[in-house]
Amino acid sequence: MSNRVVITGEGSISPLGLSSKELWDNLIHGKSGIKLIQNFDTEQFNVKIAGEITDFDPLVFFEHKESRKLDRYTMFAMIAADQAIKNSGIDSSNVGVILGTGVGGMHTLEEEQTKLLNKGQRGVSPHFIPKMIPNIAGGQIAIKHGFNGPNFSLSTACSSASDAIGMAYRLIQSNQIDTMVCGGSEGGITPLTLSGFSNMKALSKNNENPQSASKPFDKNRDGFIMSEGSAILVLESLESAKKRGANILAEIIGYGITNDAYHITQPHNESKGATSAIDLALRDAEINKDEVNYINAHGTSTYYNDMLETQAIKQVFGDNAKNLPVSSTKSMTGHMLGATGAIEAISCVYAINNGIIPPTINYETPDSECDLNYVPNESIELDLNVTISNSFGFGGHNSVLALKKF
């Protein structure tokens, strides 16, 4: 018999705050975390906006010597993990860690490449490799907390954090371990990454109005906003959580994962993979479609994603799709790439426990191809029992989580 899996801890750091309580307060009040980029000079760039964590001082969280050995994405992961672990109260060493990241230690990569070009081999730090590689955040969390369970990182682009949560759920469900720390982290707002996404024409260039630049499902959307941060959950078997009297925040009841096998950056034009992933999550959860009360959409604010995600939701939910609240918190957080699925899972946990659905802000001009209830501009109160969270990524990855009130 498979284990039931519950969430007993969560933590986050994002453009909307250094904790999930700040994040949630800003989400339900429709506040945007998008600003002009401050960490480097954008004069030569056609995109000048992002979801930066501008009030972040590493020395508040780390000793100076330690901070020099950690990339920005690793620091974010360790901070969010500290919050989640404290929030959960776990004290076992038999704990696993799975972390998702889209680009890993890009800050370190660019800094060290510059040193190599300017000073040659001798200029490159001996800390370069263990500071930059994408598995290192999970390794650092395990070392700090003495967790010797399974530990790996995964990268499925913008589905990474959802897949990390989904894989942790599977490990606990199949009785391989009782407790997992999982989620995602990203610190990739750098000149190189910004240039790459911008030259793909994936980013909004609405530099004059940063706070209204992310407009998922709106007819005038013109691209996503790069963002950074980390979100971490503690998952536990229900038996383990009950045994130690843990505060249970919600239950994970389903996980669906597919690939479009269609195009490297564009979703399938009939939304086959996304539709199938939602169906699989619902089947795994053993629930009827009419039991879903809210969808936290991938909702990137790009033309194809928003139109094709809408199509997928209609294909799964049929006539009921029009009655189902669907919102994109990316309208406020921006797109946290490999961390985004976890920040959105936390948003679902808060939505379930508070009976509030955060809005899709900046929704002004309806699009005939996007014709669902996107909870425009104002949060709504609704008794929620089951929510699903969609994450889709470059490479054709589709990952869907189903969460339930406990």
Q: Where are the domains of the chain?
A: 5-243, 254-404
Q: What's the CA gap between 307 and 180, in Å, rounded? A: 35
Q: Is 133 exposed, middle or buried (0-12, 13-18, 19+ CB in 10 A)?
A: middle
Q: What's the CA gap between 137 and 153, in Å, rounded? A: 8
107 is catalytic: no
263 is catalytic: no
Task: Catalytic residue, from 107, 335, 370, 397: name it.
Answer: 335
Low-confidence residues in the chain, pLDDT < 70: none
Task: Catalytic residue, from 107, 158, 268, 397: name it.
Answer: 158
Residue 23 token pair = 């994040």
Into which CATH architecture does domain 254-404 fall? 3-Layer(aba) Sandwich (3.40)
pLDDT attached to residue 55: 84
pTM here is 0.98
Task: Catalytic residue, from 268, 298, 348, 370: name it.
Answer: 298
Q: What's the CA gap between 88 and 63, in Å, rounded? A: 25
298 is catalytic: yes
Domain 5-243 maps to which CATH number in 2.40.40.20, 3.40.47.10, 1.20.1250.20, 4.10.1240.10? Answer: 3.40.47.10
Neighbouring residues of 197: CB distance < 8 A, sequence distance ≥ 6: 47, 203, 226
Q: Do domains 5-243 and 254-404 have the same CATH topology?
A: yes
